Structure formats: structure tokens, C-alpha cells
Amino acid sequence: MKRIGMLTSGGDCQALNAAMRGVVKTLAHSGEAVEIYGFLDGYKGLIYGNFQMLTGKDFSGILTKGGTILGSSRTPFKTIQEPDENGLDKVDAMKQNYFKLRLDVLVVLGGNGSHKTANLLREEGLNIVTLPKTIDNDLWGTDMTFGFQSAVDIATECIDCIHTTAASHGRVFIVEVMGHKVGWLTLNAGMAGGADIILLPEIPYDIKKVVQKIEEREKNGSKFTIIAVAEGAISKETAKLSKKEQKKKAAESKYPSVSYEVADEIFKRTGREVRVTVPGHTQRGGSPCPYDRVFASRLGAEAGKLILKGEYGFMVGYRNREIVKVPLDEVAGKLKYLDPKSTIIEEAKLLGISFGD
């Protein structure tokens, strides 16, 4: 009998259910008796012992379902070792609940912060297997995370829709795409949607270069411009500030987000009408795309195989088109940034896309 704990932590995304289904179906088809304990609302469920006993029926029919049947929440790693408001030691509570249920392994589906906590629990003696989820595709140790391709599809469709109204009215349109620290999602959606300018956190922009691109297009007969902006995009001026100064500037800003600041700067310098569209959390929602259904199922199946073999302390990742196991201590605490000198950036520039640099 194997006793499996499972939780989904951090922001939700598409294919979380597909990944869990992959784990459970693999274990069920192995012929070994299994008990599944689903912790509700991420690490909170593990901390406070809030769980449900699950059976194979609970994972039936969820391949195409978005979100997570277990619920999720953000439990920041920077406060995980601090007592809660009632003085409860959260790490100790998680360990106690793990051992109280006599679990053989805890399966964690999460992003960067969730992997930090997962690695901490591994260091505390718990058997851990993780799966890489995030629409940002910023998790170290894997070329791809599930949820990413579905979010790219949604953001791309938004840009596609903007094209028709932008062309009709001859306006500059900004589409703000999710991504505070990395630009994978904005880059891919921007290229797929035919954006003329893409602004990313990894490539600080010069607003003069942005305006120059708009004016070049107008001179060449293009009456409209599409700009894909990552929510974490940053100007060259702001990039020169310290992190503390950047936070202060953001707190004092009159703009809801960087996209509105860019829009205002363009209007001041050109007099052109600029419209901002923010698809927001729609990028996390809805049914997973076919790619993510297959990808998450493969990752879940490999996680199930690791559990059956008793191989713990790994994230199931994807490298060079193969599913691989990556030691958790290599993953935790690292972000996979987009290299400004990467070939995909070079190729985008060959296509005439400006990054404002």
C-alpha cells in the first residue's frame, strides 16, 4: 500500500488537473494498492491538516478541466518558517501532518516559490516529488512548464482580436501580458500575434526607441501599431535604480501598470491615440490546450513512475524534448530568465520586431 499526499500551490493554471490525473492513473494501473490524500488550498491544507481522501473517480473527467480540483493558495516561502498568527510552527505542522497520515510521498504541483518550500520539506526528511506548473515558464531545470502553452494561446488570441480594431481605427494598441520577472509568455504571444514592439523585463526599454518604431511604421504606410508589454517591463531609467528605489517609484506611480505609463509617454511624444488592453487572469483560465493536456499527462505519468520506484527528491522536468528527473536542490530558488542575446530574440529582431532597446 502506497499512501500519496498531493497538493497544488501558488497561482492556478491550466492542466493542473491533467497532471494530477496522470499521476493517479499511472499508480492505479500499476496494480499496487494506493491511497490518495488531497490537501486543500495548497500548503495551507498541509499546515492545518485540511485534506480529502480521493479515489480514482475523483480524477475521472478532469483532463480538460481548468483550475484545480484541490484548490490553491499562495504561501510565500519568505514567511514559511515564521509562526502563524496563533504561534503555530508551519514547517513543523506540515511535517506532523505528513507523518500522522503515514505518507510515503508528497506530490507538489507548483512554481518557483512552491519548489522552495518543497525543497525545504525534503531537507526536513519528507519524500517529495514535484511537477512544474506556471504560465510564466520561468522554473529552472525544465525547458517547459505546463500551463505556459495554454496561456500563450489565450494571450495570442487577445492580440489577434486587437489587430482588427487597431487596423480599423489606425490606433496604437498595447496588450499587457502576464509576467512580472520574466518575458517568455509575452515574447511568444507577441511573436505569434504579430506584435510590432515587445517590451520585456529582461530588456529595459528606451521610450524614444518605442516612439521611433511607431513613427517608422507610420512613414511606411502602417497606420496602427501593436505593442505587447510584459507587466514587469522596465524602462532603462528605472533599471538603473536600486531595487528599493524601484519599489518606491512603483508605489508612488500614478499609473495602474507599466502599460499605462508607456501609453501616456507615447501620447505625449506623438499625439497618437493609445489604447491599453489587459487580458489579466483570463490567461490562467479555461480548458488546457491539447499540447498542455498531453504534456501534463506525460509529466504526471513519469511522476507516478518515480513514486513506484521509490525515487524521491526530484522535479519531473522537460529537457531537449525528453522527460527527465531533476534534483530539487538544483531547482529551488532559481528563475529561468530569458537571455537578451538568445537566438529567439535575434530572430524576432530579424523579423522587424522592436524591443525598445
Give 7-17 pLDDT, tens digit per residue: 999 988 999 99
- Element at 131 (helix H, strand E): strand 128-132
Neighbours of 93 (CB within 10 A): 17
Q: 341 in a domain, yes or no?
A: no
pLDDT of residue 248: 85
pLDDT of residue 243: 86
Q: 343 in a domain, yes or no?
A: no
Q: Which residues are catalytic?
A: 136
Identify which of 155, 166, 156, 186 has the alpha carbon closest to the alpha carbon of residue 275.
166
| The C-alpha cell that represents 153 in the structure block | 494561446
In 3-state terms, what secondary structure has residue 251?
helix
Number of independent structural domains in the chain: 2
Average pLDDT (46-61) is: 94
Average pLDDT (177-191) is: 96
Residue type, 28: A
If asked whether residues 61 and 178 sit together in one domain, one would say no
Average pLDDT (202-231) is: 95
Average pLDDT (175-182) is: 95
pLDDT at 32 over 90: no
If asked whether residues 170 and 84 sit together in one domain, one would say no
CATH at residue 202: 3.40.50.460
Mean pLDDT of all residues in the chain? 95
Lowest-confidence region among 107-116, 244-253, 262-271, 315-324: 244-253
The DSSP bridge partners found for residue 228 are 175, 198
If asked whether residues 134 and 25 sit together in one domain, one would say yes
If asked whether residues 142 and 8 sit together in one domain, one would say yes
Identify which of 331, 337, 335, 336 has the alpha carbon closest to the alpha carbon of residue 118.
331
The residue segments making up the domain with residue 173 are 148-284
If asked whether residues 187 and 264 sit together in one domain, one would say yes
Q: 90 in a domain, yes or no?
A: yes
If asked whether residues 159 and 140 sit together in one domain, one would say no
pLDDT of residue 82: 92
pLDDT at 217 over 90: yes
Q: 206 in a domain, yes or no?
A: yes
If asked whether residues 160 and 67 sit together in one domain, one would say no
In 3-state terms, what secondary structure has residue 198?
strand
| The C-alpha cell that represents 170 in the structure block | 489606425
Average pLDDT (64-69) is: 95
If asked whether residues 11 and 133 sit together in one domain, one would say yes
If asked whether residues 137 and 218 sit together in one domain, one would say no
Q: 42 in a domain, yes or no?
A: yes
Question: How far apart are alpha carbons 295 and 284 in whole angstroms?
Answer: 17
pLDDT of residue 234: 94
If asked whether residues 52 and 70 sit together in one domain, one would say yes
Q: 105 in a domain, yes or no?
A: yes
pTM: 0.94
Q: 357 in a domain, yes or no?
A: no
If asked whether residues 137 and 126 sit together in one domain, one would say yes
If asked whether residues 212 and 141 sit together in one domain, one would say no
